[in-house]
Structure formats: C-alpha cells, structure tokens
Amino acid sequence: ASLFAAVEMAPRDPILGLNEQFNADPNPNKVNLGVGVYYDDNGKLPLLKCVAAAEKQMLEAPKARGYLPIDGIAAYDKAVQGLVFGADSGAVKAGRIATVQGLGGTGGLKVGADFLKKVDPNAKVLISDPSWENHRALFEAAGFPVATYPYYDAAKRGIDFEGMLAALEAASARTIVVLHACCHNPTGYDLTLEQWKQVIETVKTRNLVPFLDMAYQGFGEGIAEDGAVIGLFMDAGLDIFVSTSFSKSFSLYGERVGALSVVAASKEEAERVLSQLKRVIRTNYSNPPIHGAQVVATVLTTPELRKQWEQELAEMRVRIKQMRTTLVEKLQAAGIRQDMSFITQQKGMFSYSGLTKEQMQRLRSEFGVYGVDSGRICVAALNSKNIDYVVDAVAKVS
C-alpha cells in the first residue's frame, strides 16, 4: 500500500473555506467580512506609502543577499524593542530582552512555544475563550495541552472578567497564559488598564508565564496606548514573552514580518535565552528572509518615513473607528431597536456583532454578506460603498 494510504484529510481552515465560498459566489453585491485583513475605503489592500518609499530606497542601492544572522537584522530587532517596550525602557538598556526576527506574528509565537517546551516540558497552556483559532493548534503542535480561560460573555456583550480571573487563580504555577495585548481577535473586547493590573497581580502571585500576542499594535488607540499593557507587565517585574506582527500595521501580510521578545532577569540570562531561541530557529528554517524586515527597519529608523508610517497607521485606525460609528448609526436608522453601541467600544479590526449563526448563514446565502458563523465580522472590510448594503442585509435578518 502507498505510504499515504491511511493519511486523513485535515479539516479545512474555516476562514479560508469561507473565502473560497465568497470567491465562487456570483452575487455582484457580495461583501467579504470574513477576512482578517485591513482594506481601504476602496476595498483594496493598501500598499503603504512609507513601505513603497523604503522599497524605492532599497532598489536604488541594491545589495547582494547573503544569509542573515539567525536572529535576523540587528537594526530591526532593536527597532522592535523600541516599539514594544518603549525607547526609554530600562530593560532594553540593561540588555535584559532577547528579541529575534520571526516569520510574522505566527513565527514569533511558534519560536516562543518551541523554546518554552524545552524550558518547561510539563507546562500547560491557557488561551482565551474564544481566541484566534491558530493559538490552540500552534501550542498543541508544540506539544502542550491547551485549555481555555473564560473571556467573552455573550449575554453581557463584554468580557467575563470574574471568570477570567478565577481561571487564572486556579491555574497551576508556570502555566503559560496567552493574552491578546490589544485588539482581541475575534471579539474586539480589550481589558481596561485597571483590569490588566488585576490580571498582572494574579499572574504574579500564581507564578504564571505571560505570553502577550501583539498582532495589532496601533490599530486600537495608538502605538503607545496599545503598548501600555507591556509597560504594566514590565513595571510588575514579570518575565514576559511578546510576539509582534507587522502584517497589519505595515500591510505587509505576505512578507511574513514579525518578532519574538523574551524578557529575562538579567543580561546574562537574556544571552542564554537568545542562544536557545537561535537554536530553535536554526533547526526550523535556519535564518529569516531579508526583504520585509529591511523595509520595516528602514521605515522605523528613518525619521521622515517613521512619521509617515505613524500617519498612515493612524489613518487606518481612524477609518476603522469611523466605520464602527457609522455602522451603529446606520443600524439604528434602519430600525434595529437593540442597542448596538457595543460595536464602538470594541477595538481593532474585528467585531463580535452579536448576530447568531443562523443570521450569519442567512446573510451569506441571501445577501452574499460573508462573516464567520460566530458572528465575527471584519470592520476593516467595511467601506463607504458597501456599508449601506451590509446594514440593509443585517436589518433584514434581524
């Protein structure tokens, strides 16, 4: 028999499956709100001007492509640290943070997970309920048992904070807790700074290992505002893991630009951690690619380009917020009696709309409006041209 005779078909990725269905739909008015990407008001994936400018510079002085160091471009890793921990961070200055370039945020998470498996093979992992669907798969693939802590409270249209804290209180020491630093995917609900302080207190007293996934820095309230939670963990003296993604904030999805930062107790400890992170990378893909990270490093370290990036990121953030407000107003105007203002309290690209699975399915089959069965819609895929159609469709299934 063939070597693969007993190989089972892996389950389809639910979101990619939705995209295939969308592409095959002949409805000329169809709208894809199932995606996890930012589109501009013309429904197009943006190429940021700062990115094009950096690429132009790079093209004008073309360089040979040798191997990068295992941990990536040094200037890039340094720029990531500045962004995540702040330019004046004492831990950065003290050399207590090991940062490696990664293949997107996913790559950062995976390198962190593989490293943690070596450090503490018997640890358990807790992710939020619900969470980005790849968190569970990724940590399970790294060999960890993965359970959840309560997060979304459908009845309350918000966070089950008591449930979350209770789960953290009950976790055994050294449990790895995956937290969304900002713009929670899929719900859009973030903790307040007060709530974060309570989480940090619990993480500290229970001796848990916090792994902050920062895939949307700058999409919530601003670069510094969204990064503030990292500062709180640092102030508490905790050793944290932070994965960074520039897929959204630079609209560089396909370049796979991200990072992993691990905070250690001392410079000497950080050096040992870095050596092990490099081993994980070396045995997986040897060393990272150049292009995307060079673009990001160039933008972050060139003052005019950095300023332009901050403006372009702010434009994306403001447009999403505008879409949230407009959506709520138009739903109200369309006669939906239920208070939908929770949509404007959510942060980032996504919204748990509160629509049921049946409503989501009707939106798809009757109107060609594609969202996830959970009720998750991508607000960043709404625009001034498709919003009326979407609102009309939602009103008709409500």
Stretch that binds ligand PMP, among 67-75, 90-98, 100-108, 294-302 (CB under 6 A): 100-108
Task: Take residue 306 and report the two structure tokens written for it.
Answer: 């950095």
> CA nearest 168: which of 115, 142, 207?
207
Q: Are 234 and 210 in contact (CB under 8 A)?
A: no
Cα gap 243→212, rounded to integer Å: 6
Residue 181 or 328 with smaller CB distance to ligand PMP = 181
| Contact string 208-247 vs ligand PMP (x = CB under 6 A) | -----x-x-----------------------------x-x
Q: Cβ 131 to ligand PMP, closest distance in Å?
A: 7
- Please list, in sequence order, all residues whose beta carbon lies within 8 angstroms of the beta carbon of residue 58, skipping any fewer than 6 positions away: 294, 295, 298
Coil, strand or helix at 74: helix
Q: Residue 235, class by beta-carbon neighbours within 10 Å (0-12 exposed, 13-18 middle, 19+ buried)?
A: exposed
Residue 35 or 340 with smaller CB distance to ligand PMP = 35
In the residue annotation, 78 being an active-site residue is answered as no
Parallel, antiparallel or unpaired: strands 31-32 and 152-153: unpaired
Q: Cβ 258 to ligand PMP, closest distance in Å?
A: 5
Task: Take residue 81 and report the two structure tokens written for it.
Answer: 């640290």
| Contact string 22-61 vs ligand PMP (x = CB under 6 A) | --------------x-------------------------
Residue nearest to ligand PMP (CB): 104
Instruction: Report how far Cα 131 is from the mean position of its chain's Cα atoms.
Output: 10
Q: Which of residues 313-372 bind ligand PMP (CB under 6 A)?
A: none
Residue 83 CB coordination number (10 Å): 22
In the residue annotation, 248 being an active-site residue is answered as yes
Q: Are 37 and 378 in contact (CB under 8 A)?
A: yes
Q: Are 386 and 355 in contact (CB under 8 A)?
A: no
Q: Which of residues 240-279 bind ligand PMP (CB under 6 A)?
A: 245, 247, 258
In the residue annotation, 213 being an active-site residue is answered as yes
Residue 161 or 216 with smaller CB distance to ligand PMP = 216
| Contact string 170-189 vs ligand PMP (x = CB under 6 A) | ----------x----x----
Cα gap 68→217, rounded to integer Å: 26
Catalytic: which of 132, 226, 239, 278?
A: 132
Q: Which of residues 124-153 bind ligand PMP (CB under 6 A)?
A: 132
For the annotated catalytic residues, the residue numbers are 132, 213, 248
Interacting residues toward ligand PMP by CB under 6 A = 36, 104-106, 132, 180, 185, 213, 215, 245, 247, 258
